[in-house]
């Protein structure tokens, strides 16, 4: 049951995240602006490349060499995608702050190093032939920081726009988009915390009931949030606008 939940939510995230990523990359091609490119690239790489290849690598009966290749490419995709989210948060929310620049570059460097170390470990067979590398925890922690940081910034802006809404100085749908993006960061962080906690106890998070439950719930919640944020149906937008205090 938990396996079905985790798989269904992963498929849901691949479809929704991939759709959002493609939409934002197409938007970036038209506008030539960095924010839509970075967040679009992040979703595209994580949802459409990283997750499917990560699952393929763990599938039973897959040739070991092909599984290692899928693991390596998937790890690089997730790392580059997470780096894109760091750049998005830095450039959109704190473009003039030195600490934000340093945090983003430190995270990018960290992602590159732990991805390289993780792939090297698996290639060298240093983890008993398993595809869960020894560098999973640090990699997950850095990815978790990317979602947590963007959630904090976005929810802070939602607070500002709620005040503007009372004065008719903000678009309620845009304010709601900040809330949804912030919530998606909270949900994604929750999923990562759950699976990382399992890894820290010495268990393999792939297949463990706690991590499957966390990934399943977080995957669905994140998918719904980003769908409503970036691909909002007209009926949803009308409902948000009608409920606005302005």
Partner 1 sequence: MSLTNSQSFEFVCDELESRSELDRLAARGTVRIALKLAGLKASTVTAEQMRVVLERVIPKELTARGIENGDALSSALSSGLDQVETAISTEDPEAVFKRLGGGT
Provide the binding-site residues for partner 1, judged by CB under 8 A: 23-24, 26-27, 30-31, 33, 35-36, 39, 92-96, 153, 157, 159-164, 167-171, 173-174, 177-178, 181, 229-230, 232
Nearer to partner 1, 200 or 231 (CB): 231
Q: How far is the CB of 171 from partner 1 (least distance, A)?
A: 6
Nearer to partner 1, 79 or 89 (CB): 89
Q: How far is the CB of 229 from partner 1 (least distance, A)?
A: 7
Q: How far is the CB of 157 from partner 1 (least distance, A)?
A: 5
Nearer to partner 1, 29 or 59 (CB): 29
Nearer to partner 1, 7 or 27 (CB): 27
Nearer to partner 1, 145 or 161 (CB): 161
Buried b / exposed e across 113-135, counting CB within 10 Å, b at 16+?
Answer: ebbeebbebbeeeeeeeebbbeb
Q: How far is the CB of 142 from partner 1 (least distance, A)?
A: 23
Nearer to partner 1, 212 or 240 (CB): 240
- HEC states along the chain? CHHHHHHHHHHHHHHHHHHHHHHHHHHHHHHCCHHHHHHHHHHHHHHHHHHHHHHHHHCCCCCHHHHHHHHHHHHHHHHHHHHHHHHHHHHHHCCCCHHHHHHHHHHHHHHHHHHHHHHHHHHHCCCCCCCCCCCHHHHHHHHHHHHHHHHHHHHHHHHHHHHHHHCCCCCHHHHHHHHHHHHHHHHHHHHHHHHHHHHHCCCCCCCCHHHHHHHHHHHHHHHHHHHHHHCCCHHHHHHHHHCCCC
Q: How far is the CB of 148 from partner 1 (least distance, A)?
A: 17
Q: How far is the CB of 168 from partner 1 (least distance, A)?
A: 7
């Amino acid at each position: 049951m938990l396996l079905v939940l985790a798989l269904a939510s992963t498929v849901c995230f691949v479809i929704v995240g991939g759709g959002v990523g493609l939409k934002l990359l197409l938007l970036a091609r038209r506008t030539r602006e960095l924010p839509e490119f970075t967040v679009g690239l992040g979703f595209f790489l994580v949802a459409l490349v990283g997750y499917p290849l990560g699952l393929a690598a763990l599938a039973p009966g897959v040739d070991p060499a092909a599984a290692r290749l899928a693991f390596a490419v998937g790890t690089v995709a997730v790392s580059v995608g997470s780096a894109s989210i760091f750049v998005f948060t830095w450039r959109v929310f704190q473009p003039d702050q030195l600490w934000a620049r340093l945090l983003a570059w430190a995270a990018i460097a960290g992602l590159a190093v732990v991805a390289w170390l993780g792939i090297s470990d698996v290639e060298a067979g240093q983890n008993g032939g398993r595809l869960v590398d020894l560098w999973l925890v640090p990699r997950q922690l850095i990815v978790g920081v990317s979602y947590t940081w963007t959630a904090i910034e976005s929810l802070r802006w939602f607070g500002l726009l709620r005040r503007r809404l009372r004065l008719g100085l903000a678009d309620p749908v845009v304010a709601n988009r900040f809330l949804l993006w912030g919530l998606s960061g909270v949900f994604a962080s929750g999923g990562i915390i759950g699976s990382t906690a399992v890894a820290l106890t010495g268990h393999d998070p792939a297949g463990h009931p706690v991590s499957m439950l966390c990934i399943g719930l977080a995957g669905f919640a994140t998918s719904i949030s980003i769908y409503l944020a970036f691909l909002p149906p007209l009926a949803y937008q009308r409902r948000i606008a009608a409920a606005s205090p302005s």
